[in-house]
């Protein structure tokens, strides 16, 4: 990782320029901005690990997660996607008679601890996101139908739809949406107007649950799908 001040001294240019260049490089997925400077990416496609994600915007995530959980009704069969935001839903899940299917390795234990009837799909265990993906996962998913499906994504764009860095994971999310009567995408504001590598589906295929969003952005989306903005 490099500090911004280092770059200033090294290049002899202003802090502003360094910042601008860094944000540009970040958009091009060449590095990641961190407080005080920038760090190199882990893999080819930028993908925050479970650890990195979990500690970020925790309160917003919990607010979103809490509302999402409130949508669940007695007797529902639920798909819970791997990922940190859906993970936060677990404490808020109703103690009703529900069934949860998940591909999140971190999720299972918490679900069981909460006494919830839980199924996992099979598949390749991806170390970074702790998600089950691949052929096995896809075939497993075909065994279940869901009333509601809760997904995390990396990008939401009015034209390009829902996206995520890993193609394989996109396939899973896609299939989960297909198998569900209703889909909900959980996303904080940072995901809006972003486009990641692999497409999951069109914007109108899911309802979006978010916590706080600019009016301008909201208008862009509202005509295309329904958005629930959670305010506490």
Q: Which stretch binds DNA (CB under 7 A): 27-35, 102-110, 115-123, 143-151?
A: 27-35
- Which residue, 41 or 71, has its beta carbon nearer to its own copies? 41
CA pair distance 213, 188, nearest whole angstrom:
8
- Interface with its own copies, residue 2, by CB under 8 A: no
Q: Kind and range of the H or E element at 34?
A: strand 32-34
Q: Which of 1, 9, 10, 13 binds DNA (CB under 7 A)?
A: 13
Which CB sits closer to its own copies, 65 or 106?
A: 106
| DSSP bridge partners of 131 | 104, 126
Which of 2, 92, 122, 225 is the binder for its own copies (CB under 8 A)? Answer: 122
Q: For residues 118 and 163, which CB has a smaller minimum distance to its own copies in the complex?
A: 118
- Residue 85 CB: number of other CB atoms within 10 A? 27
* Cα–chain center distance at 64: 12
Kind and range of the H or E element at 32?
Answer: strand 32-34
Report residue 145 CA to chain centroid gap: 21
Q: Is 48 in the site for DNA (CB under 7 A)?
A: no
Q: What is the 3-state secondary structure (H, E, C) of 146-165?
A: EEEEEEECCEEECCCEEEEC
Tokens 């089950």 belong to residue: 132
Please report whether residue 127 would count as binding DNA according to CB under 7 A.
Answer: no
Q: What are phi and psi of 213, to 5 degrees?
A: -155, 145
19 binds DNA (CB under 7 A): yes
State yes or no: residue 14 binds DNA (CB under 7 A). Answer: yes
The DSSP 8-state label assigned to residue 143 in this structure reads: T
Query: Which residue's CB is nearer to DNA, number 155 or number 201?
Result: 155
The yes or no reply on residue 15 touching DNA (CB under 7 A) is: yes
The yes or no reply on residue 9 touching DNA (CB under 7 A) is: no
| Nearest partner of 82 among 51, 109, 103, 110, judged by Cα | 103
- Select from 18, 82, 111, 176 the one that contacts its own copies (CB under 8 A): 111
The residue (of 27 and 204) whose beta carbon lies closer to DNA is 27
Among the listed ranges 28-36, 67-75, 89-97, 161-169, the one in contact with DNA (CB under 7 A) is: 28-36
Which of 35, 40, 43, 231: binder of DNA (CB under 7 A)? Answer: 35
Tell me: does residue 145 bind its own copies (CB under 8 A).
Answer: no
**What phi and psi values does residue 156 have, to the nearest 5 degrees?**
-130, 120
In the list 23, 27, 70, 109, the residue contacting DNA (rule: CB under 7 A) is 23
């Amino acid at each position: 990782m490099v500090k911004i001040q280092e770059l200033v001294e090294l290049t002899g240019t202003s802090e502003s320029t360094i910042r601008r260049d860094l944000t540009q490089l970040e958009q091009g997925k060449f590095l990641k901005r961190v407080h005080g400077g920038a760090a190199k990416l882990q893999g080819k496609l930028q993908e925050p690990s479970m650890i990195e994600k979990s500690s970020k915007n925790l309160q917003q995530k919990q607010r979103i997660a809490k509302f999402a959980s409130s949508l669940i009704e007695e007797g529902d069969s639920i798909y819970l996607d791997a990922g940190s935001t859906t993970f936060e839903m677990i404490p808020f899940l109703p103690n009703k008679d529900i069934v949860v299917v998940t591909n999140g390795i971190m999720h299972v234990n918490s679900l069981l601890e909460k006494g919830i009837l839980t199924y996992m799909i099979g598949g390749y265990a991806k170390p970074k996101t702790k998600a089950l993906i691949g052929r096995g996962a896809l075939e497993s998913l075909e065994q279940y139908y869901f009333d509601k499906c809760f997904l995390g994504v990396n990008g939401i764009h009015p034209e390009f739809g829902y996206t995520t860095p890993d193609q394989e994971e996109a396939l899973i999310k896609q299939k989960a949406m297909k198998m569900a009567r209703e889909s909900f995408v959980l996303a904080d504001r940072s995901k809006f107007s972003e486009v990641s590598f692999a497409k999951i589906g069109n914007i109108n295929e899911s309802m979006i649950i978010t916590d706080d969003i600019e009016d301008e952005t909201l208008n862009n989306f509202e005509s295309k799908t329904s958005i629930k903005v959670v305010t506490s």
